[in-house]
A and B are shown apart, each in its own frame.
Chain A
Amino acid sequence: MIFKRGLTFRFRDMRLSSKLIVTYLLLTVIPLSLLGYLTYAQYARSVEAQIGEYMPKFLYQANADIAKHMNELMKLPEMLFNSEDSLAILRRSHYGNRSDMNRDRYILNGYLTRTYMAGSNPDLIGVYVLSNGRLFQSAKISFREQDWQQSLQRYGEQWGRDDRTRILLPGQIDLRFASDVPYVFLLKPLFDADNRKLLGNMLIAVDLSFIDGILHNFETNERAQLWVMDGAGQIVYHTDRSKIGQRDPEISHYPVKNGSFRSMAGGESRLVSVNQSQALGWVLVHSIPAKVLTERTDFVRNVTIFVFAGIVLVTSLIAVLFSWNVTRPLQRLSSLMKTVERGNFEVDLKVPGGDEVGTLARSFNSMIGTIRELIRENYQIEIRQKEAELYALQSQINPHFMYNTLETIGMAVEEGEREPVVEMVTLLGRMLRFSVSNQSKSVTIGEEVQHVRDYLTIQKYRFEDRLDFAIELHLDDREPHTMYTPKFILQPVVENAIKHGLEMRKTLEIRIAVSREFGARSGKTDLVMRVRDNGPGIPDERLEQMERMLRSAGYEGRSNGFGLSNVNARIVMMHGPQYGIQIHSIKGLGTEVTIRIPVMHALE
């Protein structure tokens, strides 16, 4: 568990590029190397299996050849029984004089030479007949041992329970030929079937080199070892001559008697194939180092390893490049994000390509752009609002209005009208207090309406009969004091109406209506203030120009209608484009300005 948690922790915290490389190694290098190893192992195995399968068949054939040859050789002693003379000599047990004995020896030795040594069989080295203490012989090569006659005599009187030809293996013989050829003795009891007596024994020394000829037919590799042993492990013949006569200690451990197996005995892996002949019981063994078998495949293996290493190198390089390619934009993104974090929005992530990283970069870019835009907009709104407020402030204390008002008051004082003066001064004072005292952007509808009523009342004093006005509030009793409106939105509209109306007409009538109405654009009940006059109206082109001006966000100086656009701009900034000012005008009949704001019950 500790290991697992540790690994989890470590892997999670690794860098993405490291993760990618590790994953690549896990997914590519390990399966690839595993596959390579398995393929090679399987291939080497199949080579071994192939040889392991056909070699026993060869051995079987070779063993059969050897057995056949040996069987032919084992029939050779019978030839002695075909010669009556030879049998007569062997049947003699005693001699009257020496010359008889020497003559018999001469005859039989001559027969042996003619029949066996000079015969067609080249594998015979020597033939020895031991009978009644006599030794008849004919040999191509002499023995090394000086006392070979005594050694041979030991076999002379041996008598098995039958008269079959037996094979005396090298380990059972302590005689060596001068040329040290590998050989076996064929021991044949000479049994006189007619007289039911043993006449003696015949020994035929057989050169086993003929096995070389048989074995070389199918195995020419000099690192392969081939040997023949009897069922008990007594080595009869070996490609390594020095081992002839020894015992193979492993024979009892051999897992099969006919087949192939891999042996680790002796520290070296060898492929051993064995076959035991039915006829002789001889075991023919072929043993070859596994290395030799796979020598050719080793070249393939080396090339494979080389190519594999190359591929791993190249693909690793590609993997590193790839992971770098993936992570580099991410790193740049993260560093750019840090820059943005510090407040610098003037960045641009340039990542080409349409993949996820490219998309991410584009999204990032667009996000930064949006943020930048939002900041800029907010900034502008702020500036515009400040400007609007400044203007409103300036309008409130319009020196022109002050001057006109004071002049009107002055005229009234001259005429001695005390009451209007007092009222005008009171109204002017209240207006100034409205402007100065309340710093918030919103005021109640009652206050706003009171203010414009004060303004109109003062103007009425000035223009007397030329101006007439009426204000209608279609609201409940409490509502004018609980509903709020942006401050200072009615006065600019009224001011505008008076200015243009009285320029062209002798009298002007202004009607202000405040009511609640359903708004199609906002989708709910809005507060609507209508300022209607019966002035000259606005020409169509001028109206269009004014409407364009209202819709456009910017300001175009304090030209005509600046007051209207200022009001409109403030409402739009505060409440959205679905609110604001609309102008309807019919030339010669008058103008109606509609101010639409949301219903607000609390200070915002």
Chain B
Amino acid sequence: MFRRMVLLLAFFVILCACGNGKSGPYEVVFSMDGPPNSESASITAVPAGKRYTIAIVPKGVEIPYFQYAAEGAREAGAEFGDEVIFEGPRNADAEEQIRIIEDLIDRKVDLLAVSANDPDKLVPVLRKAKQQGIRVITWDADTEPPAREFFVNMVEPETLGRHLMDTMAMSMGESGEFAILTGSLAAANLNEWLRWIRVQHEEFYPNMKLLEVVPTDDDQNKAYEEARRLLAEYPNLKGLLGNSSVGPPGAAKAVREAGKAGRVKVVGLSNPNLMAEYLRDDSAQMATLWSPKKLGYLTVVLAHRYLDGAKPADGQEIDKVGSIRVNGDMVIMGEPLDFTKDNVDQYDF
């Protein structure tokens, strides 16, 4: 009898066990969930809480191009909560730039982003910064590669150099004499562009003659003076090409004052704001540039991310900038923009 009772009890237990599983409104059948992960965090990219001190060193603080770049840099700094120090020599002077970098090293910034006036002279001071644990990148104008982690470039040098030559040739009708106003003969980026200008010239435009390459030290007054000199010296001068932002406005001013507007063509790298008046009265035909604001913004964004531990990657999409390209340790922001009298009003830099 006892055995029967046990048997009945066993049945009862089995029945209970069968009915049991259904307690509660949900019963998991299958789960693919791994350990709980917050993948949704990547959708709303909240900036990492850490704040950095980022020093942006331009070629010259008084050059409008760099002032616009500073605007963009500050915009990014405000978004990340970083302190952006914008300090540099007054004009494109390497010695002064070194002193300022020394000063910034003493202030223990987290990162130095330098637009180098001289690719070689700056190397020792940047090495020193690196030894003190300060990250070093370059933007706008590069140094020797070992001195920095990566270089934020605006455009492909070849593309820009060939394009500048093309705009000169186009406005001059592919024949005649022209001169080039460059910034500093030491600046690496200007020399690189200059090299490609020459390549394009020799390759496609045999009827054009390059008279002179004149340095302006990124000083607008000096550019103006040099342009006047060239106009006086070469009566057959048909074109002036500036490959640093102070060149074309100075040249255009000289051309206008010489009453040669439209006869001597002025093209080159410069800010639309500086060029707007000359473009309108045909003292200049075309300006080419990129957005320095965007460059400043991108530099700080990449600097911040680098401090967070992420290096820029090819094809990376940067908010409010677009996709960037990375070639070795060189970041390329995008393509150059051309400004004519038709579109120059659209741009504010």
Report A's interface with B, CB cutoff 8 A: 4, 7-8, 11, 26, 30, 34, 37-38, 41, 48-49, 52-53, 56-57, 60, 84, 87-88, 91-92, 161-164, 191, 193-197, 231, 253-265, 271, 273, 275, 278, 280-281
Contact = CB atoms under 8 A, between A and B. Distances in A.
A interface secondary structure, majority: mixed
Interface of B: 1, 4-5, 7, 11, 14-15, 18, 22, 24-33, 39-40, 43, 45, 71-72, 75, 79, 290-291, 293-294, 297, 319-322, 337, 343, 346-349
Contacts of A53: 29-30
B32 A262 contact: no
Contact of A30 (B1, B11, B31, B71): B11
Contacts of B33: 256-259
A195 B297 CA distance: 11
Contact of A261 (B5, B28, B291, B348): B28
A264 B28 contact: no
A88 B346 contact: yes
Given A193-B322, A258-B32, 16 more contacts: A26-B4, A37-B18, A163-B319, A163-B320, A193-B320, A194-B294, A195-B293, A195-B346, A196-B71, A196-B293, A196-B297, A255-B28, A259-B31, A260-B29, A263-B25, A265-B25
Contacts of A280: 43
Given A34-B11, A164-B319, A258-B33, A195 B28 contact: no
Given A34-B11, A34-B14, A87-B346, A253 B26 contact: yes
A262 B293 contact: no
Nearest to B31: A259
Given A88-B343, A260-B29, A265-B25, A38 B18 contact: yes
Contacts of A256: 28, 31-33
Contacts of B349: 194-195
Contacts, number: 113
A56 to B, nearest CB: 5
A87 B291 CA distance: 15
A337 to B, nearest CB: 29
B293 to A, nearest CB: 5
A281 to B, nearest CB: 5
Given A34-B14, A194-B349, A195-B349, A262 B5 contact: no
Contacts of B40: 231, 281
Contact of B293 (A52, A194, A271): A194
Chain A to chain B: the 4 pairs with minimum beta-carbon distance, closest first:
A52-B29, A194-B291, A259-B31, A258-B32
30 contacts: A4-B5, A26-B7, A34-B15, A37-B18, A49-B30, A53-B30, A57-B32, A60-B32, A164-B319, A193-B294, A194-B293, A194-B347, A195-B293, A195-B346, A195-B348, A196-B75, A231-B40, A253-B26, A255-B26, A255-B28, A256-B28, A258-B33, A260-B28, A261-B26, A261-B27, A262-B29, A263-B25, A264-B22, A273-B30, A281-B40
A434 B349 CA distance: 173
* A4, A196, A256: residue with the most chain B Cβ atoms closer than 10 Å: A196
A260 B347 contact: no
A384 to B, nearest CB: 57
Given A194-B291, A258-B31, A260-B30, A278 B25 contact: no
B248 to A, nearest CB: 18
* B1, B297, B343, B346: residue with the most chain A Cβ atoms closer than 10 Å: B346
A193 B291 contact: yes
B74 to A, nearest CB: 10
B294 A262 contact: no
B320 to A, nearest CB: 5
